[in-house]
A and B are shown apart, each in its own frame.
Chain A
Amino acid sequence: MKAFHEPIEDREIHGTPSNSRSSNFKLRYLDSPLMVDIEYIKHLTESHRVTDGMEVLERRAADHAYALSRMTAVIHDHDTLAGNKTRFIRGAIPYANYAAEPFLREMRKEEQDAQSKHMEQGKGGGIRRAQLEAEQKGLRLISGKFLISAGEYEEFKEICEYWEDKCFMEQGNLLWKNHFRNASFIEDGWKIGLYTAPHEPCPEGRLILDFEMVLAKGLNQIIRETEDKIRSCQPAGIGDGVKLNFWKAAITVLKGAIVFVENYAAEAEQMAESEGDPVRKAELLRMAGICKRVPMERPGDFREAVQSFWFTYVLGHIEGSHLGYSPGRLDQVLYPYYINDPGHSRAEAISLFEELFVKMTQIEYIASMSWQGLGHGNLYQNLILGGVDEKGERADNEISMAILQAQINMQMTQPTLSVWWDEQLDGEFLLKASECVKTGVGYPAFFNQSTYVQHELKTSGLPLEMIRRNSAIGGCTEPTLQGMSYGIVQAGFVNQGKIIDLLLNEGVDPVTGIRMAKARKPASFEEVRSYYLEIMQAAVRNWQQYWNYVMIAHRNTVPLVFCSVFVNNCLERGKCMDDGGAILNQSITTLSSGMVNVANSLAVIRKLCFEDKVCSIGELFHAVRENWQEHEGLRNKALAVPHWGNDDDYVDDIFLDLFDEYCDWVSGQKNYLGKPYDPSMLAISTPVPFGKVCEAFPDGRLKGEPLADGVTSPFPGTDVCGPTAVIRSSMKVDHTRIRGGLLNLKFHPSALKGESGSKNMLALIKTYFEKPGFHVQFNVVDSRMLTDAQEHPENYRDLVVRVAGFSAYWVEMSKPLQDQVIWRTEHSL
C-alpha cells in the first residue's frame, strides 16, 4: 500500500555523523570508485597450482591460508579499526575459483547468461565514477562497473583461464549436465526465465559465525583444542580420516588468519614510525598493540572486542563468494564487553559503530551480471537487534541503542539493520528504531522472533532456549540460527509468473516456443488449479534436484573451512559444513517469487469463466495472450475481481490454498544434507526481471510489468482498501510454515510524523505480529517516488492524499496538482 498524507513533509529525522572522522569516512566512501582486487585470487591460484594431489579440505585450507598470509595489510587514513577485504576503499574480490565462466565470457565478449539481459544495474554514484575513471586513466572495466588496471586485467584473464575447467561451477556442470536426467528442464528453465541465473558465482552467505565463541576463546585456544582433538583421535574407520583432514585444515586456515592479522600489526607499527602527527602516531601504535592481541586472545576491553569481531568477520568474508553473510545479533555479542569495560563510553561506542558500518559498506561483490543486478549490489549483511534471550526475556540493551544511533547518524547502505520484535521490548528502543525508519534509509525492518522460533521448533526440533538465543537473520529476510547453521541455503528463485505463462499456453513458453509441460486444456477451475500445481511441482522438484548435484561439486572444490570452524558443532564432530557438521541442516530453502499474481489470476479465472460466466476460458486466455489489447472492457472486469491485499476471502482463500500446496511440496524433497527442504518466499529484486520475461496475466497485469513483491505484498495498485486491509490479508497466512517472507509498506512522512506517528507505526507492527506475521518493512515516500507515481499512476491507485478531513486519491489529481504535492515534499512544507 502507499498511503501518504498532506500537508507534505520531508523526512522528519536527519542524522549527521557524530564526529568529523566519521563524516570523512562517509565522504571518502561516496567519492571512491568501485575496484576489483585480484590480489587474493592471484595468491590462491598460485597455491592451487602446486597443491594438486592434496586431500580436498586440506588443499582448500592450504590455498586459503597461503593467500591470506600474503594479502597486503592496508590501513587507510584516519582508520582506527584494522582489516579490509581488499586494498581499496570500495573493492571486490573476483572469485574465479567459484565461477570463471562469467568473467571469461565478458573478456571474450561472448553473450552472458540468458538472464543478464533482463537485469539492470544502477548507473550513478561509484558506478558512474568508475566508468569515468576508466575512460580517463585507460583502466579496464569488469562487470560493467568495476575498475582494474590494464596489467592486472591480463593477469586476471590468465587466472580465469586456469580455473575455467576447475572452478566450482564447471565441476558442478559436469556432474548435473551429464547425470541429472532432467537437466534439459533446468537449461530450458533458464532460457525462458523460469529460474534466476545460475547461483554458483555467489552461492554462499545467509551465514552467521559464532562470534561469541571467537571472543570468548581467541584463535590460539581454538588451535590448541583442535590439536588436542587430533592427538586424542584413535581412527576406527574412514570417517575418522575425514575428521583428521578437517581438523588439520582448520589449524592451517587459523594460522593463515593469524599471519593476516599480524601483517596489520606490523603495518600499523611501520606507519607509526614515519607518522609526524603525534596524535595519529599514538592511534597507530594503539592499533598495532590491539592487532597483536585479538582475535588470537580474549579481548581486554570494548574496542578490542569490536576489533576481534571485525577481523573474524572479514576473514570469514574473504573465504567465500558471500551474499547475505551477516553479523547477526551483534548487540548481544558485544554487550558484555561494553558493560565490563570500566573505560567504556557511549560516544566512543557510537563512533566505533559509525566506522564499522562504513567498513561493512565498503565491501563490494562481483558476481555474474545477473546476480549483481538481482542483489542491486547489496550484500545484505544483516545485523539484528533486540529480541529476547534464551529465557525469553527482553534482550535490547545499550549497545542496541548505540547501533541504532550510529546508523541514524550515518545512513550507510550496510549493514542491513533489523529488529527482532517482541512485546516486551523497551519503548525507548522501539521509538529509536522508528526514528531510524524515518530517516528514509528503509530500515530497520521488523521481524517477529516468536514466529521464527515456532518455525524452528517445528522443523528442527532443537531446544527452545537454543533457538531463542541464537535466532538471527542471515541475508535479507532469512531467519537462521547464528553460529550453528549452514549458509548455502538456496539455489535461486522459481518464477511463479512464468508458470502462469505456461498454464495459459498449454505448457509451452509463449516467448521461446519451448515446451515445459504436457499440453492440457483445462475446462474447469479445478483443472486449472491442478494444471498449475503440476507445472509448479515440476519446476520446484527439478530445481531442488539440480541443486543437490551442484552441492556435491561444492564439497569437492570450495568447501568452507574457516567458516566451519566458527559454526557449531563442526569442530566437535570433525565435519565441515559441507559434510553436515552444523547443528542446523534444515535451513536449506526453496524460494519462489510472485505467488500473489497466481492467486489473483486464478480468482479471475474462477469468477469470470466459471461463476459469472462473463466469458469462456478460451476467450479469457485469448484476451490475455493479446496483452489485453482491444479487450479493455474484459480487463476492467478482471481488475474488478477481488485481488489479494484487500482482506477479501474470495481471493485470499485461493492464495492460502496455493501457499499450503507449495509448502507441502517443497518439504517433500530432501536437501543435499539429507534433511527436508524448507519452504521460503522472498523477492529481493526478482519481481522486475521475472516480470520482464512474462506475458500478460489473467489478473489484469500487462506484459512485462513487475510481479507482486515479496510473499504477501499486494500487486501494485490492486490494494484499494488501505494498509490495514493489506495487513489483514497477510495475517491469514501461517508464517510459521516458511523460513522468511516479507511485507513492504510505503508511507508518506507525515503519516509517521512525531511521536504519535511513531506510536501508530509500532501499533501497526504489534497488531500484525500478534497474529503472528513475520516481517514488515516501511519505506518512507520521498518526492522521487511521487515522480514515479506520476509516471506510473496505475501502480499507485490506492495512494491517498490526506489532509485532516480531506479526501482525495493521488490518481485523481491532475498533473499540475501532483506537481504541487511533489514541490511541497521537496520543500518540507
Chain B
Amino acid sequence: MNGTILNIQHYAVHDGPGIRTLVFLKGCPLSCAWCCNPESQSASTQLRYISFRCKACLECIDHCPTASVSPGNGEVHRKFDECNVCHAKYCIDTCTHDAVSLSGREISSAELVKIIAQDIPFYRNSGGGVTFSGGEPLMQAAFLLEVLRECKKLEIHTAVETCGWADRKALQNILPFTDLFLYDLKIIDPEQHLYYTGQPVDLVIENLTFLSCENADIIIRFPLIPGITDTFQNIKSIGAIMDNLKLNRICLEPYHSLGREKYDEHGMEFTLDAVQQYDHSQITAFRDFFSGRGFLCEIA
C-alpha cells in the first residue's frame, strides 16, 4: 500500500521519548490559522516555489505546459492551482537553481518501514522509536495502520501525533499498535475552535475520552497562540478536561513564526495577523500554571 509523506526526520528528540524517527504524513482535516506546516494540509503533493532562489531566468516559462507561470519582478508569478495539475513535472527538471520542488512524495508502506527499521539500534539504546506526525496521520488511516502493525512486529516503540479530529473506527484500529498518543488540544470553546481550525471540537474531545477510557498512554500537546489559545478560560478548560480524564502529562508548544514563509511558497494564504512571539518568562509562567496544578508539564 502507498501513502503520501512530506518528510522523514532522523534523530528527532522532541516528539516522544528517546531517539526517534519522525514521519510527517500529508493531509489534515483542520486548517489551523497558526499551522507551521501548511504544506501538510493538502492530501496530495504540492508545488513549492522558493522565490529567493529564483534567478528569473524564465526557463520554466518556456517549458510550462499549462501556461501557469508568467514573468515577475526578479522572479516569476505562478498560478499554483493550475501548476499542481501537472505536479510541476516540467519546471522542477528545468530549474537549475533549486527554486521549484514538490512537497510530498508517495512511498510504499514496505519502504517506509524499512527506513524506520534502520535506526532500531538507536531506539533500543535510547528508549526511542517512531513518531507519526503530519498533517493528521489518521487521514491515511489504512496506510498508517499497516505501517504501525509492521513496526510493532519489529518491536519498535510507536507514537502517533493526532489532532483528534478522526474517524473513531480508524482510531480504534490503530490503538493496539500505538504505544503513545501525542494528542493536540487547541481550543475548548466550540465556536472559537470552529473559527480557527475549521472544524467542530466535539469529536476531538469525544475521541480523547475514548482513548483515555481505553487506558491509552497519552501526552496532551497544547499550542500556545498569543491571544487565541492562551486565554485564561481556555487554559482552565484544558486543565479541567485533563483532570476529568485523569491525564497528567502536557507539553506546551509556544507559537513561532518559522513556518510563515511556507505559506507563500505553496501559494497559500496566511490569515493570522501580527502574532507576537513569547519571551522566555511568559512561557515559564504558563508552565508554572500547569505544574502548580499537579500536571507534568514540559515545553517543546
Q: Which chain A residues have a beta carbon within 8 Å of chain B's beta carbons?
A: 3, 5-7, 632-633, 636, 647, 721-725, 728, 750-751, 756-757, 759-760, 763-764, 766-767, 770, 800-808, 812-815, 817, 820-821, 828-829
Q: Which residue of A lies closest to B39 (CB)?
A: A807
Contact A806 B37 (CB under 8 A): yes
Q: Mark B34-55, 1 if CB is under 8 A from A, else 0.
A: 0011001000000000101000
Contacts A751-B13, A817-B260 aside, 12 further interface pairs with beta carbons under 8 A come to A647-B118, A722-B9, A724-B19, A756-B13, A763-B126, A763-B128, A802-B14, A803-B36, A804-B251, A807-B24, A814-B52, A820-B258
Q: Out of A633, A636, A721, name the residue touching B10 (CB < 8 Å).
A: A721
Q: Mark B1-36, 1 if CB is under 8 A from A, else 0.
A: 000001101111111011100001000000000001
The reply to whether the CB of B280 lies closer than 8 angstroms to some CB of chain A is yes
Contact A763 B9 (CB under 8 A): no
Contact B258 A803 (CB under 8 A): yes
* Residue contacts A-B, CB under 8 angstroms, 12 given: A6-B256, A756-B13, A760-B19, A760-B128, A763-B126, A764-B125, A764-B126, A767-B124, A805-B221, A813-B258, A817-B260, A829-B280
Give every chain B residue within 8 A of A632 (Cβ-Cβ): 96
Contact B126 A724 (CB under 8 A): no
Q: Which residue of A lies closest to B21 (CB)?
A: A724
Q: How far is the CA of A803 from the CA of B259 in the complex (A)?
A: 10
Contact A767 B125 (CB under 8 A): yes
Shortest beta-carbon distance, B110 to chain A, in Å? 18
Q: How far is the CA of A155 from the CA of B50 in the complex (A)?
A: 64
Give every chain A residue within 8 A of B50 (Cβ-Cβ): 812
Q: Out of A5, A7, A814, A817, name the residue touching B254 (CB < 8 Å).
A: A7
B residues 74-124 with Cβ under 8 Å of A? 96, 118-119, 121-122, 124
Q: How far is the CA of A724 from the CA of B279 in the complex (A)?
A: 33
Contact A805 B15 (CB under 8 A): yes
Contact B251 A808 (CB under 8 A): no
Q: Out of A636, A751, A813, A829, name the residue touching B96 (CB < 8 Å).
A: A636
Contact A803 B12 (CB under 8 A): no
Give every chain A residue within 8 A of B52 (Cβ-Cβ): 814-815
Contact A757 B13 (CB under 8 A): yes
Contact B96 A802 (CB under 8 A): no
Known contacts A6-B256, A632-B96, A802-B12; is-contact A760 B36 (Cβ 8 Å): no
Q: Which residue of A lies closest to B7 (CB)?
A: A807
What total count of A-B pairs have CB within 8 Å? 117
Give every chain B residue within 8 A of A767 (Cβ-Cβ): 121-122, 124-126
Q: How far is the CA of A301 from the CA of B12 in the complex (A)?
A: 49
Q: How far is the CA of A533 from the CA of B234 in the complex (A)?
A: 69
Q: How far is the CA of A829 from the CA of B10 in the complex (A)?
A: 24
Shortest beta-carbon distance, A161 to chain B, in Å? 58
Shortest beta-carbon distance, A437 to chain B, in Å? 15
Known contacts A763-B125, A805-B37, A805-B133; is-contact A800 B18 (Cβ 8 Å): no
Known contacts A801-B258, A807-B7; is-contact A5 B126 (Cβ 8 Å): no
Shortest beta-carbon distance, B163 to chain A, in Å? 11
Contact B7 A3 (CB under 8 A): no
Contact B36 A802 (CB under 8 A): no
The reply to whether the CB of B206 lies closer than 8 angstroms to some CB of chain A is no
Q: Out of A6, A760, A770, A802, name the residue touching B9 (CB < 8 Å).
A: A802
Contact B96 A724 (CB under 8 A): no
Contact B258 A806 (CB under 8 A): yes
Give every chain B residue within 8 A of A801 (Cβ-Cβ): 258
Shortest beta-carbon distance, A820 to chain B, in Å? 8
The reply to whether the CB of B275 lies closer than 8 angstroms to some CB of chain A is no
Known contacts A722-B9, A760-B19; is-contact A808 B118 (Cβ 8 Å): no
Known contacts A5-B14, A760-B126, A804-B300; is-contact A724 B262 (Cβ 8 Å): no
Q: Mark B242-258, 1 if CB is under 8 A from A, else 0.
A: 00000000010110111
Known contacts A764-B122, A804-B300; is-contact A723 B10 (Cβ 8 Å): yes
Contact A633 B96 (CB under 8 A): yes
Contact A724 B13 (CB under 8 A): no
Known contacts A805-B37, A808-B259, A813-B261; is-contact A764 B19 (Cβ 8 Å): yes
Q: How far is the CA of A802 from the CA of B22 in the complex (A)?
A: 11
Shortest beta-carbon distance, B131 to chain A, in Å? 9
Shortest beta-carbon distance, A532 to chain B, in Å? 30
Q: Mark B183-215, 1 if CB is under 8 A from A, else 0.
A: 000000000000000000000000000000000
Contact B126 A829 (CB under 8 A): no
Shortest beta-carbon distance, B275 to chain A, in Å? 14
Q: Out of B12, B15, B122, B258, name the residue touching A6 (CB < 8 Å).
A: B258
A-B CB proximity, top 10 nearest: A722-B10, A763-B126, A804-B300, A804-B14, A763-B125, A724-B10, A767-B121, A766-B125, A807-B7, A723-B11
Q: How far is the CA of A317 from the CA of B262 in the complex (A)?
A: 58
Contact A805 B161 (CB under 8 A): yes
Shortest beta-carbon distance, B285 to chain A, in Å? 15
Give every chain B residue within 8 A of A821 (Cβ-Cβ): 258
Shortest beta-carbon distance, B132 to chain A, in Å? 11
Give every chain B residue within 8 A of A805 (Cβ-Cβ): 14-15, 36-37, 133, 161, 221, 253, 300
Give every chain A residue within 8 A of B17 (Cβ-Cβ): 756
Shortest beta-carbon distance, B149 to chain A, in Å? 23
Q: How far is the CA of A139 from the CA of B139 in the complex (A)?
A: 75
Contact B96 A808 (CB under 8 A): no
Give every chain B residue within 8 A of A728 (Cβ-Cβ): 118-119
Contact B96 A807 (CB under 8 A): no
Q: How far is the CA of A817 from the CA of B258 in the complex (A)?
A: 7
Give every chain B residue within 8 A of A763 (Cβ-Cβ): 18-19, 122, 125-128
